[in-house]
Structure 1
Amino acid sequence: MHQFAKFLLSAIAVATITGCNVEPKAQVKTPTPSAAAPLAKQALHKDLSIWPTITSQVRADPALERRVSALLAQMSLEQKVAQMIQPEIRDIRVEDMRRYGFGSYLNGGGAFPNNNKHATPQDWIALAEAMYQASIDDSLDGSSIPTMWGTDAVHGHNNVIGATLFPHNIGLGAANNPALVEKIAQITAKEVMVTGIDWVFAPTVATVRDDRWGRTYESYSEDPEIVRTYAAAVVKGLQGHADKDVLADDRVISTVKHFIGDGGTVAGDDQGDNLASEQELFDLHAQGYVGGLSAGAQSVMASFNSWHGEKIHGHDYLLTQVLKEKMAFDGFVVGDWNGHGQIDGCRNDNCPQAVNAGLDIFMVPTDAWKPLLENTIAQVKQGIISQARIDDAVSRILRVKLRAGLFDKPSPANRVFSGKTALIGHQEHRAVAQQAVRESLVLLKNKNNILPLSPTLNIVVAGDGADNIGKQSGGWSITWQGTNNTNDDFPGGTSIYDGLAAQVQAAGGKITLSENGEFTEQPDVAIVVFGEEPYAEGHGDKDNLDYQRGMKTDLALLKKLKAQGIPVVSIFISGRPMWVNAELNASDAFVAAWLPGSEGKAVADVLLTDADNNIQYDFTGKLSFSWPKTANQTVNRFDDDYQPLLPYGFGLSYQASATSTRYTLSDNLSEAVQTDASAAKNTVIFNGKTAKPWRMFLTSAQQSVELRSSSASLTGIDYRTVDKVVQEDAFRLKTQGGTEAGVVFSSSFREDLAFELEQNSVLLMTVKPDSDITSPVAIMMHCESLGDAAGSCRASVDITQQLQAMTQGQWQDIAIDLQCFVQQGLAMDKVVSPLALSTQGAMTLSISALSFAKKPPTAHFIQCP
C-alpha cells in the first residue's frame, strides 16, 4: 500500500509544523527538589524579595532615551505593532516587509534563503540586504526603522554550510573554561556577521534537572555554578564588553533563553510544567539570567514551559514584575516559536494576554503573522491592550536597535565583515573548536591504562559514528533536527575517523574503517564510535536513560570484538549521560565525547600519543552532569541521597590513573534494568477523545485535516462521532474507495514508548465493522521526524482478516503484537505516529478505543514470532 506512506507523512507534516576542572568544592548547598520524585504541586507564595536588582554593564543613556522617545512620538499604532511582530523567512516576502515594516524576522532551524539548504553566504547576505532595504523604505508603511534578523546560532553559525560547529553546550560545560567559551561566542558572532545577520538566539542557560529532557545537551550543567559564569562569558563574546566594544561591528545582539525553568519540568517533559518553589526557581533556574543580564544581554526569550500550570509566555509576575521591574531588565522579551498560542484562551493569531503579561515581540512563524498583527491593533483600539503597554514594548525594541547601532551602521551588505566568506569556517576558528573538543572529552574508564594508544598500532575503527560528522554534531546542525545530512554537508569539517587516520598513517601504523567491525587482519585494538542519533527539542525526550533500549546493536558490536580478544576503546556520542552499564562492561576504555561538532579530528589528539609515544593532550574534561547508576535514576549534585554511578566533577586523566579514585569502574556493573511494577502504565491514544500528546487527522491521498469537530469529510472519506456507551465516545469512518484514505494519530514530537515493550503490551483496538470488508485495511506505526529519510522507520500490519472474521454491528477487540512493528524497523523510543489506519477500499468502520495495553483473552490477536 505504497500511497499510505505519503498520506501519513503529510499528516505528520501538519502535526509538526510549528544551545579545566569541575571537581566538587566546598560551597553552600543549593536547595534542590527531590531527585526521587517531582515536587507536588503547591500553593505559590510569591516573594519579589527573592529576586535581585541587577546592574547591567550596558547602562542607560539619557541621550539615547531621548531618541527613543522622539521616534516613538512619530509612530502610528500600526507601525508600533509591526515592530512587535517577528515572522519567519519561509512565510514572508520582501514585499511584506516593505508593506508592514516588521521590527524583526527570523530563520527557524532548517530554514534557508530561497529554501535552499546549500545557500551560499552571498545568498544569506542578499536576503538580509533586501529585507533591510524594504524595512527602511517608507513608501508603503511610512516607516524607515531598520529591521533585524534573528537566528539560532547555538553552537556556531550552525544553519550555514561550511561554518565552524563547536561542541554543544553539554560538552563545553565539561570543559569548564569560561575564557574559551567567550572566544567561541566571539567567533560565532563574527561568522554570523559575515552573512549580514544582527541577532543570535543564544545562550541557552537552562539548568537541567532531569536528563530525559530532549534539550539536555543545550545545557552547560545540572548545577547553576557553571551556568551563571558561562552565561556572562557568552554574552560578552557575542555582544562585546561594555567598557570597550559592546555591540561593535563584529558583535551581535545576544539572547539569554528560555526564561524561565525550562530545565526543571516534571519528568523532563519538553514544554512541560516546572513545579519548583519560587526560591528554587531562582536558586536553580535563574542563575544564568543573573550572569547574562549582568553582562548586558539585550534580549530574553520566553520559555515554552509553565510554572505551576501557568505558561511563561503569559506570566505577568515573572515577565514583568520579576524580570523587567525587580531585575531591572530594560531590553526586550521575545517569544519562542508560536509560544504565545499555548496560553489558555490564545491562538497563534490572537493573544492579547501575552502582550499584557510583558511579551514585547511575538515570534509568529507560519501565516498567522498577519491576523495576529491585525488582531493586536484592534485590541489596542478596543482597550484590551493598553497604549502604554504597546509604547513600553516598542521603546524596548527601539532602545536595543539604537544600542546595536542599527540606525547608524551601513546596510547588511556593506558592514565590516559582510561578505568576507573566508571567515566562515576559517582555520583559526576551527583551531579554537578543536581545543574545545579536546577539553570537553571526559574519560570514564581506562582499564589497565590502555589509553593513550600508539599511532603505530594496527587499529580497526568501528561504529556508525566513526565517520559521520552529522551524528557527532547532533541537532541544530544545518537542519533543525540535525538529520538528513552527509559528510559533504560539512565542508572543512572532519570526522573522528579522519583525525585518527591522519595520525596513524603519518606514524606508519595501520588503520581500517569498518562500521560493523569486520577485518581481514587481527587488529591490536578497536576504537568503536557510537551513540545517540541527532535530535532537537521534544524529539529527544525519553522515558528513561537506557541506551538503545530494546535493541542493543552497539553492545553486540562491542561484545563481538571483545569475544575475539580485541581490546575495545569506546567513544560515546550523546547529548546527555545515559545508562550504559553493559557498554561500559564491554569496554576497556570509555570516553564521553558528547556532541563535538564539526571538528572530530581533535579526538585523536587526546586518544593517541605522537609517533615517539609522548602524550599530545591529556584528558581534562570533568562531568558537569552526574552519570546515572540505573536507567530510571534522576540524580543531581547535592541531592540528599546522592548515589550516581559517577559524580559531578568526575573525569580520569593520564596523570591520575583509575587506581587513584574510589570511582574505578569494574567490568561487572549491574546490567539489570530496574523496573517499578507499581509505576506500570499504558499509553492511551483515543478513549472517546484523543489523548495528549496525540492529535487526530483525517487523511485522503495528499489531503489532511485535523479533526476538531463531530464531522469532517475529504475526498473519498467521511468522519463523524458516534455513541458506544456514552455520547460521542467513538467515531465512524466511511470510505468510498478508489483513493487511499484513513485516519492518523500523531504527535508533534517523537515519543518514547519503549516501556510498552517491557510491559509486553499490545496495540489494542476496539472496533465495529458496519459493512463488508472487501479490501485490505492496514495499521501503521511511524517513528520518523520530518527530516528523516522516507521509509526508514515505519511498519505496517494488515488487519483485513481479523475484520472479516468479526460479526458486523458488534464491538470487538483486535490486539497486535508490538513485535510485528519492531521487526520491521520501528523504534519504539521514537514514535511519532502510534497508529494510522488506511484503506483503498469502500468500508464503514467504527472505533471506540485505541491504546497500548495487556491483551484481552477474547481479542482477535495478531502475533509475530
Structure 2
Amino acid sequence: MRLTRYATWIMAAAVVIAPAACGDDTSDNPSSSSTGAGAGSGTSGSGTGSGTGGSGTGAGDSTGGGGNGTGAGDSTGGGGSGAGDSANLLPCDGGWPEVESAIAKDPAIEAAVAELVGKLSVEQKVGQMVQAEIGSITPDEVKQYNIGSVLNGGGSWPGRNKGATAADWVELADAFYKASVDTSGGHAGIPIIWGIDAVHGNNNVRGATLFPHNIGLGAANEPGLLERIGAATAKEVVATGLDWTFAPTLATVRDDRWGRTYEGYSEDPEIVNAYAGRVVQGIQGAANSADLFGAARVIATAKHFLGDGGTDKGDDQGNNLSSDTELCEIHAQGYLSAIPAGAQTVMASYNRVRGEKMHGKGDLLTGVLKDKFHFDGFVVGDWNGHGQVEGCSNSSCAAAINAGVDMIMVPTDWKAFYMNTVSQVNSGTIKMDRVNDAVTRILRVKMRAGLLGPKKTKGAPSQRMFAGEQSVLGAREHRDLAREAVRKSLVLLKNAGSVLPLAPSSNVLVAGKSADSISNQAGGWSRTWQGTENTNADFPGATSIYKGIQDLVSAGGGQATLSADGAAASGNFDAAIVVIGETPYAEMKGDIQPGKDADDNIDHAKTLEHALFHPEDLRVLKAIRQAAPALPIVTVFLSGRPLYVNKELNASDAFVAAWLPGSEGGGVADVLFGVQEFQGKLSFSWPGSECQRVNRNDGQTALFPYGFGLKTTDQDTLGTLEEKSTGTACN
C-alpha cells in the first residue's frame, strides 16, 4: 500500500534451494555441505550433481508438511544448495486447486454473526466496510458512522509525533476502541480493528525491532525462523494496542526492475509457499490451538492478491500478462499455504491481470479466492486501490465491492465513499446479499480474534496484556532473533584469497556511505513510508554495521576506524570493510524504468547497473584500492534486489550480499569475523548483465544462480568479470 503522502502506492542449473515443509523446526534448513559434490533423493524427486569450484549441497528431509523435498545440486564456481521441487506446491494443470482453512467454522460464532448482521441497518453495515486513516478521522466520527477499521500509513503516528511511545499508541487505540463500542444513540457498538504495515517488525514505531526485509529472509531458507519472527512482530504490535498487521507479502518476483522486489522472499514459488503458512502461524498462532489469537497474537494479511510480482517489465502496479495456469503455478502458491494456515485477511493488489485491475476482478477475488480457495475471512483493499478500477474514483466504487472487496481502504475520502456506498446499496447497484456477505466476513474475523461475540477475550487495548509496555519494543530476545536472522541471510558471493573470515583482533578500516547508516541498512518501511528522512537517532537501541564491527573487534583486541569516503585507507590496516548499496525506497521510488516520473519528480535508475545510479560507491572502492593496493577489500552490499555489480565485484576481494538487514548490524559483523559461518543461499538469480531478466529454470545463465552461496572454506574461482555497460535503458 502507499502511505505518508496519502497514496500506497538460471540457466536451468541444478543449483536450487530446498525449503523445508511446514513442519518441525528441525527440518527448516534441509541443506548440508559436501566439498565438490552433492546428491540427494526422496519422494518428490532425485538426482545427482557435481560442484566444480565449491560445494554442492544435497537437500535433507522435510517433515510434517506433505512429504520429502529432496534432490541434488550442481555448483559452478561456488557453493550451492540443491533440492527437487517442494512437495508442498499444488499442481495447477487441472485448473485452480481447492484448499480449506485449518480454522474450522465455529457454530457459536457463526450464529452470533448471523444474528448481529440481521440487526444492523444499511448504514451500520456500510460503516463496517470502511477503513479510514487515523489522521483523517476522529473517535467521534468512528462512533457516528459505525466505522469498521482504521489504519495508520507509513510515517503516520499518534498526534503526528514520530517519537510516539507505546503508551501513546495505546492511548489513541483506546480512544478509537471506546468510541466504536459506545452503543448510546443507537450505534452498533462493534469494536474497531486497527491495521498497520508491520512488514519487517513493527517498523513504524520508535524503538521497535527491525528484522531483515523479506528478500534477506528468503536467502536464510528457514521457515521456522519466519514463524518466530512473525510471533515477535505480533507481540510488538500488541504492545502498541493494535489488532492487525498487513503482512506477510507473498509476491513471487519475476523482474528485479520492480521497486518492491525486496518485499518478496524469492523469484520461485517454493520458498514463498514454504514460508507463507509459517509466518501466518507466527502472527496469529497455530490454527485451532489454544494460542490462536492469544494475548500476544494479531490478525495477519496475505498480500497482494494476485500477481503483483509478475507485472510486465516490473512496472509497479502494472499489467500481469500471465495465464491462469501461470498465475496459479507461480503467483498463487503463497496463498495456497497461507489460507490453509488460517490467514484471516487478504489484501487485493494494485496491479492489473491481463488488463483488468485486481480491485475490480471478480473472477479472481470471488471466483478463485473465495470459491476455489474457500477463503472465509475478508478481503481488504489497498490504499485507494479501488479508485483505479475503471469507472471508479476514490470516493465511489461499487465495482470493487461487487467484485469481492469486503473492506475498502479509503484513507481520506472515507466520508464521501460511505455516503455514496449507502446510496448504491439503496439503489440496488450493490446488492444487499453482497453487503451481508462482506459484513459477515468482517464480523467473523473480529469474533475469531476475540474482540466480540461468544468467544470474546479482548477488551480495550489498554486492558490487554503487554499494552503500552515500552520494554516489549526492541526486547532483548527480539533483537537477538533479528541478529540471528541477519547472520543467516548473508550470502557470500566472492572470497578471493580466502580473505574472509577476518580475525577479531584485526585493525580494520570501515568505509562507505552505509557503514554507519541504520536508515540505509533498514530500507523502506522503516519509521517512514519510504524509509527516508531518518537518522540513527530515529532507531534507538539499533546497531549500525560499523558499530557492530567496532564492538566485536574491540572485544577481540582489534580496532575499527570509520572513514566513510575511505580517505584514511593509507593507514596501517589489515582489511577494509566497505558498506555500499542502494538507499531506501518503499514503492515507486525504487522502480527501474526509463526517464523521470514527472508526477512524483523521481529520478529512476534505467538499468540494473548499480554504478550508474550510485557511482559514489565505485569511487570509494577505487579510492581505497589506489591508496592501498595491497589492502584486502571486503564489500558489504546493501540492496533490495540483485543488481549488475561486475565493476564492484572486480574492485573487491570479498563481496557479501547483505540485503536490507534491519536494526541489528551486529549480525553482519558476526559473520564477517567468523563467529558464524555464511549459510545464506540466493533465493533470486543474480544478473550477469545490465538488463538481464533471469529466473530459475528459464534457460538463461545467471552470474550467480538461484541457490548459490559460498562458505569461507570454499574455493573461489570467480576471476575478473567483464564490465560491459551501455547505459541504455532496459526494454
Alignment TM-score, normalising by the size of structure 1 = 0.72
In the alignment, which of 106, 113, 131 is matched to residue 61 of structure 1?
106
Distance between the aligned counterparts of 2:85 and 2:167, measured in 1? 51
SS in 1 for 2:702: coil
Counterparts of 1:503-652 in structure 2, within 5 Å, are 503-519=552-568, 521-543=571-593, 544-549=607-612, 552-563=615-626, 564-565=628-629, 566-608=631-673, 615-639=674-698, 641-652=699-710
SS in 2 for 1:460: strand
Distance between the aligned counterparts of 1:48 and 1:288, measured in 2? 17
SS in 2 for 1:326: coil
How far has the Cα of 1:141 moved from its partner?
5.3
How far has the Cα of 1:522 moved from its partner?
3.0
- Which residue number in structure 1 is paired with residue 474 of structure 2? 425
Q: Deviations over 1:509-554 (max 9, x none)?
A: 2221000112262322110001100000111101321103165221
Residues 1:256 and 1:17: Cα distance change in structure 2 (over 3 Å)? closer
Distance between the aligned counterparts of 2:143 and 2:229, measured in 1? 35
Residues 1:210 and 1:141: Cα distance change in structure 2 (over 3 Å)? farther
Alpha carbons 1:531, 1:572 under 8 Å: kept: yes
How far has the Cα of 1:421 moved from its partner?
2.0
In the alignment, which of 253, 266, 290 is matched to residue 221 of structure 1?
266
How far has the Cα of 1:657 moved from its partner?
3.2
SS in 2 for 1:511: strand
1:133 paired with 2:182, answer no
SS in 2 for 1:220: coil
Give, as a single letter, the amino acid of the residue that structure 1 aligns with 2:718: L
Give, as a single letter, the amino acid of the residue that structure 2 aligns with 1:523: F
- Which residue number in structure 2 is paired with residue 318 of structure 1? 364
Alpha carbons 2:201, 2:211 under 8 Å: kept: yes
SS in 1 for 2:611: coil
Give, as a single letter, the amino acid of the residue that structure 1 aligns with 2:379: V
Residues 1:388 and 1:58: Cα distance change in structure 2 (over 3 Å)? same
- Which residue number in structure 2 is paired with residue 358 of structure 1? 404
1:106 paired with 2:151, answer yes
How far has the Cα of 1:62 moved from its partner?
1.6
How far has the Cα of 1:196 moved from its partner?
0.7
Residues 1:616 and 1:48: Cα distance change in structure 2 (over 3 Å)? closer
Distance between the aligned counterparts of 2:727 and 2:155, measured in 1? 38
Distance between the aligned counterparts of 2:555 and 2:88, measured in 1? 50
Residues 1:201 and 1:514: Cα distance change in structure 2 (over 3 Å)? same
- Which residue number in structure 2 is paired with residue 81 of structure 1? 126
Residues 1:247 and 1:17: Cα distance change in structure 2 (over 3 Å)? closer
Give, as a single letter, the amino acid of the residue that structure 1 aligns with 2:678: F
In the alignment, which of 9, 17, 26 is matched to residue 84 of structure 2?
26
1:665 paired with 2:718, answer yes
Distance between the aligned counterparts of 2:4 and 2:366, measured in 1? 36
Q: Deviations over 1:296-340 (max 9, x none)?
A: 000000000000000000001000111101111000000000000
- Which residue number in structure 2 is paired with residue 327 of structure 1? 373
In the alignment, which of 231, 240, 253 is matched to residue 195 of structure 1?
240
Q: Deviations over 1:739-771 (max 9, x none)?
A: xxxxxxxxxxxxxxxxxxxxxxxxxxxxxxxxx
Alpha carbons 2:315, 2:591 under 8 Å: kept: yes
Distance between the aligned counterparts of 2:556 and 2:8, measured in 1? 51
Distance between the aligned counterparts of 2:135 and 2:335, measured in 1? 31
1:336 paired with 2:394, answer no
Give, as a single letter, the amino acid of the residue that structure 2 aligns with 1:322: V
- Which residue number in structure 2 is paired with residue 257 of structure 1? 303
Give, as a single letter, the amino acid of the residue that structure 1 aligns with 2:591: D
How far has the Cα of 1:139 moved from its partner?
2.2
- Which residue number in structure 1 is paired with residue 346 of structure 2? 300
Give, as a single letter, the amino acid of the residue that structure 1 aligns with 2:669: A
Alpha carbons 2:4, 2:528 under 8 Å: kept: no
Alpha carbons 1:99, 1:141 under 8 Å: kept: no
Distance between the aligned counterparts of 1:75 and 1:48, measured in 2? 44
1:175 paired with 2:220, answer yes
Distance between the aligned counterparts of 1:85 and 1:359, measured in 2? 11
Divergent runs of 4+, >6 A: 12-15, 28-31
Question: Counting strand residues as a fraction of each chain, which structure ranks higher?
Answer: 1
SS in 2 for 1:188: helix
Rg bigger for which structure? 1
Residues 1:324 and 1:550: Cα distance change in structure 2 (over 3 Å)? closer
Distance between the aligned counterparts of 1:527 and 1:602, measured in 2? 15
1:232 paired with 2:295, answer no
1:453 paired with 2:463, answer no
In the alignment, which of 466, 470, 492 is matched to residue 443 of structure 1?
492
How far has the Cα of 1:55 moved from its partner?
1.6
Alpha carbons 2:158, 2:164 under 8 Å: kept: yes
In the alignment, which of 164, 180, 183 is matched to residue 119 of structure 1?
164
Counterparts of 1:688-727 in structure 2, within 5 Å, are none
Alignment TM-score, normalising by the size of structure 2 = 0.85
How far has the Cα of 1:14 moved from its partner?
7.9
- Which residue number in structure 1 is paired with residue 204 of structure 2? 159
- Which residue number in structure 1 is paired with residue 601 of structure 2? none
- Which residue number in structure 2 is paired with residue 850 of structure 1? none
Identity %: 55
Alpha carbons 1:30, 1:283 under 8 Å: kept: no
1:485 paired with 2:537, answer no
How far has the Cα of 1:506 moved from its partner?
1.9
Distance between the aligned counterparts of 1:102 and 1:196, measured in 2? 18
Alpha carbons 2:153, 2:196 under 8 Å: kept: yes
Unaligned runs of 5+ in 1: 1-11, 32-46, 609-614, 659-663, 681-865
- Which residue number in structure 2 is paired with residue 400 of structure 1? 445
SS in 1 for 2:634: strand
- Considering Cα pairs closer than 8 Å and 6+ residues apart, tell me whether 1 or 2 has the greater RCO: 2
Distance between the aligned counterparts of 2:125 and 2:445, measured in 1? 15
- Which residue number in structure 2 is paired with residue 653 of structure 1? 711
How far has the Cα of 1:601 moved from its partner?
1.2
Distance between the aligned counterparts of 1:350 and 1:28, measured in 2? 43
Distance between the aligned counterparts of 2:97 and 2:116, measured in 1? 32
Give, as a single letter, the amino acid of the residue that structure 2 aligns with 1:656: D
Counterparts of 1:837-852 in structure 2, within 5 Å, are none
Give, as a single letter, the amino acid of the residue that structure 1 aligns with 2:619: A
Distance between the aligned counterparts of 2:714 and 2:578, measured in 1? 24
Distance between the aligned counterparts of 1:445 and 1:100, measured in 2? 59
Counterparts of 1:768-807 in structure 2, within 5 Å, are none
Distance between the aligned counterparts of 1:402 and 1:154, measured in 2? 24
Give, as a single letter, the amino acid of the residue that structure 2 aligns with 1:547: H
Give, as a single letter, the amino acid of the residue that structure 2 aligns with 1:530: I
How far has the Cα of 1:418 moved from its partner?
1.0
Distance between the aligned counterparts of 1:512 and 1:14, measured in 2? 39
Q: Deviations over 1:16-74 (max 9, x none)?
A: 687x447232339999xxxxxxxxxxxxxxx9951122121111112211001110111
CA RMSD of aligned residues (A): 2.0
Residues 1:500 and 1:290: Cα distance change in structure 2 (over 3 Å)? same
How far has the Cα of 1:479 moved from its partner?
0.4
Alpha carbons 1:30, 1:638 under 8 Å: kept: no
Distance between the aligned counterparts of 1:114 and 1:15, measured in 2? 16
Distance between the aligned counterparts of 1:394 and 1:655, measured in 2? 58
Alpha carbons 2:301, 2:345 under 8 Å: kept: yes
How far has the Cα of 1:268 moved from its partner?
0.4
Distance between the aligned counterparts of 2:683 and 2:7, measured in 1? 32
Alpha carbons 1:100, 1:141 under 8 Å: kept: no
Q: Deviations over 1:698-748 (max 9, x none)?
A: xxxxxxxxxxxxxxxxxxxxxxxxxxxxxxxxxxxxxxxxxxxxxxxxxxx
How far has the Cα of 1:129 moved from its partner?
0.4
- Which residue number in structure 2 is paired with residue 416 of structure 1? 465
